Structure formats: C-alpha cells, structure tokens
A and B are shown apart, each in its own frame.
Chain A
Amino acid sequence: MINWNLFREMETLRREMDAIFGNLAQEQDERMAFLPGIGTRRYPRINLREDADNFYLAALLPGIEAKSLDINLTGSTLTLSGERLGEDPQEARWQRQERGHGKFMRAIELPLDVDTDKIAAEYADGVLRILLPKADTVKPKRISIKTGKK
C-alpha cells in the first residue's frame, strides 16, 4: 500500500467512469470544444493518448511564446503552465473579443510512471506535443517458463 496515491486513484476512477458512460457527453461537445477562448473551462485543451511504449499529449496553445511555457514533471504529475499575452492596440474600438489571454496552469496525472530523461516536447503551429515514454519498470514483461522436461 506504499504506492497508494489518492490523486492517482481519483484520476483512475474518473477515467473508468468516463469509459463506463462511453464519454457520451464528451463526444457531443468535443468538436465544439476545439475552441480555446475566454471562459472558466479548463485551459489548455489537451488530448492524451497512449500506446505500448509512450504517452502522447497534445495541447492547443495558439499564439504562445515557446520560451514562456513551463513543463514540469513531479512524480507522475505533469504540470503545464505559461502565459498568453493579450494585445493592446492603440486607439482601437473592439468589435469582438473572444480570445482569452492571461496566465494558465494545468496539472495532468499520468496513469503510469514515465521515463523522465526521454521526455520530448515540441511546439509548432499553436499545438504543443509532448512525448512521454513509459518507464521500463511499468512496462509488462514477459516471463518465460522453463519446463522441467528433459
């Protein structure tokens, strides 16, 4: 029970619940949600995917200086933070203002430990992609059985 982590358990539970309900609500508004803007919703929007060896994280972060992005990994919690600067045009009359700006921070609990030395992040065209290779200790290992027969 030493490895028991409340936040990880909660995150796992949330994910299981999502799987049970088939992401019903999420499917509906997923496309609508392709909109970073002003609001109280979670920002940035992220996608987390996995295969046998890696986690792939994509975050929608248009118009951000790559230098101002801060990516940290503590245990298996990945923290993304940064700031999007707002424009302040001189003597302008605003007709629409839908894009948000300001500081943001988001923590993502990864389901498994990752190899911290091999994490690669790339920012292009307003999308941040992070490749997180899974740690060797959490990968399934096949154990071969020796038969007693001669």
Chain B
Amino acid sequence: MNDKNLIPSENKDAKLAVRQNYVAPAVDIYEQASGLTLVADMPGVVNERLKIDIDQGVLTLEGASEISLDGDRLFSEFAPAGYYRQFRLPEHLDLNKVDAQLHDGVLTLRLPKAETALPKRIEVKTVH
C-alpha cells in the first residue's frame, strides 16, 4: 500500500451529503373505494418546513425537523435529521383534489381517485 491510498476521497457531490442526513419516514398506505390515504410519521416537522410534490407520477415528501438541542448530550437515540421519501403513484388518481394535513407530527395525505376510475352503477330502465 502506498501513500496515495491513505488520502481520503473528496465528496464531490455536495447535494448527496445533505441527503445522507435524511431518513425515510414510516408510512401507512391504504386504499379505499374513494381513493388512497397515506399517513406518515414526521415528528418535529412544521407546516412551513414540509414540501410535498407530485411530478410525473412520483410523490415526494420532504421535510426538515426542528428539534433544538440544548446543553451537552448524555445519551441520544435520534439525531435531528430531515425526512425524504418518494413513492410512485398509480395513474387513476385525481391530483387536483389531493388534501394534506399535518397534525402533531403526523402527515395525512388523501389522494382521491379520478371520477373515471370510481365504480359506477348503471341503472337499467325498464321500457314497456
């Protein structure tokens, strides 16, 4: 081994380094007749620091948590990180009616199905 091997490689991608501080939030996703509901745990995130994007069928959740650190650490089980997670959405959703609510660090995102995808019952008329 020569000296060259001991030189640490530089991190060229600064953006990637920022992303390393992100974790994927735990989510629940369930489907009902009316649409999809996504529930994500994002403790420490406030409205202004949460970004939800839908671009070309990909849903991106991005949030920064604000957990202040006072004093010196005695022990810690979490670090104040951001949240980042992406999901590919199915095609039959009405993206204009998406509703997002953030309450006590829990994000609830309702993605209703498009009218055309909802089950429709066709009445049969009897003609005499």
Contacts and interface: CB of A to CB of B under 8 A. Distances in A.
Contacts of A90: 32
Contacts of A56: 70-71
Interface in B1-22: 20-21
Contact of A93 (B21, B30, B70): B30
B106 to A, nearest CB: 4
Interface stretch (A60-68, A71-79, A113-121, A135-143): A60-68
A contact residues, range: 35 or more
Nearest to A126: B105
A96 B27 contact: yes
Interface in A3-36: 15, 18, 26, 30-36
B123 interface: no
A126 B106 contact: yes
B32 A92 contact: yes
Most buried by B among A45, A46, A49, A97: A49
A54 B31 CA distance: 47
A91 B71 contact: no
Determine chain A's interface SS by DSSP, over half rule: loop
Interface string A31-61: 1111111100010011111110011101011
Interface stretch (B40-48, B54-62, B92-100, B114-122): B40-48
Contacts of A97: 28, 30
Contacts of A58: 67
A60 B29 CA distance: 21
B23 interface: yes
Contacts of B76: 26, 30, 47-49
B93 to A, nearest CB: 13
B78 A62 contact: no
B77 A30 contact: yes
Contacts of A47: 67, 69, 73, 75-78
Interface of A: 15, 18, 26, 30-38, 42, 45-51, 54-56, 58, 60-64, 87, 89-100, 111, 123, 125-127
9 contacts: A31-B23, A35-B24, A48-B73, A50-B72, A62-B43, A93-B31, A93-B32, A99-B27, A126-B45
